[in-house]
A and B are shown apart, each in its own frame.
Chain A
Amino acid sequence: MGKRVALTGNEAAALAMKQINPDVVAAYPITPQTDIVQYFSSFVHDGKVKTEFVTVESEHSAMSATIGASAAGARAMTATSSQGLALMWEMLYIASSYRLPIVMPVVNRALSGPINIHCDHSDTMGARDSGWIQLYSESAQEAYDNLIQAVRIAEHPDVRLPVMVCFDGFITSHGLENLEILEDSEVSEFIGEFEPEYSLLDPEHPVTFGPLALQNYYFEFKRQQADAMTKVAAVVRRVGMEFEKVSGRHYELFEEYRLGDAEMAMVVANSTAGTAKEVVDELRAQGKKVGLLKIRMFRPFPKEEIAAALSSKQIVAVLDRADTYSTMGGPIYNEVRSALYDEKLRPLTMSYIYGLGGRDVGLDDIRKVFSDMEASRTAGKVSEPINYLGVHE
Chain B
Amino acid sequence: MSQMLEIRWHARGGQGAKTAAILLAEAAAKAGKYIQGFPEYGPERMGAPMLAFNRISDEAIRVHCHVTNPRVVVILDPTLAGKVDVAEGVPDGGIILVNTSESPARMRSLLKLEGRPLQIYTVDASKIALETLGRDIPNTPMMGALMRVTKIMDYDYFLNLMKGELEHKFKSRPEVVEGNIKAISRAYEEVRGE
Q: Whose C-beta in chain B lies nearest to the C-beta of A274?
A: B62
CA of A175 to CA of B36, assembled, Å: 7
Asked if residues A178 and B29 are in contact (CB atoms below 8 Å), the reply is yes
Q: In angstroms, how far is the closest chain B Cβ from the Cβ of A2?
A: 14
* B contact residues around A117 at 8 Å (CB): 41
Contact, CB under 8 Å: B41 / A275: no
In the complex, which residues 40-97 of chain B have their Cβ closer than 8 Å to any Cβ of chain A?
41, 60-66, 68
Q: Tell me if B65 and A275 are in contact (CB < 8 A).
A: yes
| A168 close to chain B: CB less than 8 A | yes
A171 and B63 CA atoms in complex are apart in Å by 11
Q: Which of B30, B35, B41, B62 contacts A277, CB < 8 Å?
A: B62
Instruction: Collect the chain A residues with CB atoms within 8 Å of residue B63's CB.
Output: 274-275, 278, 363
A272–B30 Cα distance when bound, in Å, is 26
Interface range for A: 20 to 34
Cβ-defined contact, A176 with B62, below 8 A: no
CB distance from B68 to the nearest CB of A (A): 6
A361 at the interface (CB under 8 A from B): yes
CA distance A174 to B37 in the complex (A): 9
Residues 266-291 of A at the B interface (beta carbon under 8 Å): 271-272, 274-275, 277-278
Instruction: Evaluate contact between A360 and B65: CB separation under 8 angstroms.
Output: yes
- The residues of A that contact B39 with a CB separation of less than 8 Å are 174
In whole angstroms, how far apart are the Cα atoms of A278 and B6 in the complex? Answer: 15
State the CA gap A138–B38 with chains docked (Å).
Answer: 16
Question: Does A192 count as interface, using CB distance less than 8 angstroms?
Answer: no
A275 touches B62 (CB 8 A): yes
- Asked whether B22 is an interface residue with its Cβ less than 8 Å from the other chain, the reply is yes
Number of interface residues of B (CB under 8 A): 21
Q: Are A362 and B68 in contact (CB under 8 A)?
A: yes
Tell me how far the C-beta of B153 lies from the nearest C-beta in chain A, rounded to whole angstroms: 14
- Chain A residues with Cβ below 8 Å from B65 are 275, 360-363
How far, in whole Å, are A175 and B29 apart by their CA atoms in the complex? 14
Please name all residues of chain B whose beta carbon is closer than 8 Å to the beta carbon of A360 when the two chains form the complex. 65-66
Assess whether B66 is in contact with A6, with CB atoms less than 8 Å apart. Answer: no
Complex Cα spacing A277 to B29, Å:
23
Cα(A361)–Cα(B68), bound, Å: 11
Whether the Cβ atoms of A176 and B66 lie closer than 8 Å is no
Q: CA A275 – CA B68 in complex, angstroms? A: 13
Q: In the assembly, what is the distance between CA of A312 and CA of B64, in Å?
A: 29
A296 CB–B CB distance under 8 Å: no
Which B residues lie within 8 Å of A278 (CB)? 1, 62-63
- Cβ contact of A174, chosen from B29, B41, B61, B62, cutoff 8 A: B41
Q: How far is the CA of A330 from the CA of B62 in the complex (A)?
A: 24
**Shortest beta-carbon distance from A120 to chain B in Å:** 14
Q: Which residues of chain A come closer than 8 Å to B34, judged between CB atoms? A: 178
Is residue A177 contacting chain B, with contact meaning CB distance below 8 A? Answer: yes
Say whether B25 faces chain A, with CB atoms less than 8 Å apart.
yes
Pick the contact of A171: B22, B29, B37, B38 (CB < 8 A): B38
Closest to A117 in B: B41
- Smallest Cβ distance from B27 to chain A, in angstroms? 9
Determine whether B124 belongs to the interface, using a CB cutoff of 8 Å to chain A: no
Contacts of B25 in A (CB 8 A): 6, 176
* Choice from A4, A174, A271 contacting B64 with Cβ under 8 Å: A271
**When chains A and B are docked, how far (Å) is the Cα of A117 from the Cα of B63?**
22
Cα-based distance from A3 to B30 in the complex (angstroms) = 12
Q: Are B37 and A175 in contact (CB under 8 A)?
A: yes
- A118 near B64 with CB under 8 A, answer no
Those of A350-386 within 8 Å (CB) of chain B:
358, 360-363
Give the complex CA separation of A362 and B67 in angstroms: 9
CA distance in complex: A118, B36 (Å)? 18
CB–CB A6/B64 < 8 A: no
Q: Hey, which chain B residues are within 8 Å of A178, CB to CB?
A: 29, 34-35, 60-61
Whether A272 contacts B64 in the complex (CB less than 8 A), given A5-B29, A178-B29, comes out as yes
Interface flags for A104-123 (1: CB within 8 Å of B; 0: not) read 00000000000001100000
Residues of B near A170 (CB, < 8 A) are: 38, 41
- Look across to chain B and name the residue whose beta carbon is closest to the beta carbon of A355: B65
CB distance from B3 to the nearest CB of A (A): 13
Are B29 and A6 touching (Cβ within 8 A)? Answer: yes
Q: Does A172 contact B (CB under 8 A)?
A: yes
Residue of B nearest to A270 (CB): B64
Contact with B along A37-71 (1 / 0, CB 8 A): 00000000000000000000000000000000000
Pairs across A and B, CB under 8 Å, 21 listed: A5-B29, A6-B26, A6-B29, A138-B64, A170-B38, A170-B41, A174-B39, A175-B37, A175-B64, A176-B25, A176-B37, A177-B36, A178-B29, A274-B61, A274-B62, A274-B64, A275-B62, A275-B63, A358-B41, A362-B65, A363-B65
- List residues of A whose CB falls within 8 A of some B CB: 4-6, 117-118, 138-139, 168, 170-172, 174-178, 271-272, 274-275, 277-278, 358, 360-363
In order of increasing CB-CB distance, the 10 nearest A-B pairs are A6-B29, A175-B38, A274-B62, A271-B64, A176-B37, A362-B65, A176-B25, A360-B66, A274-B64, A275-B63
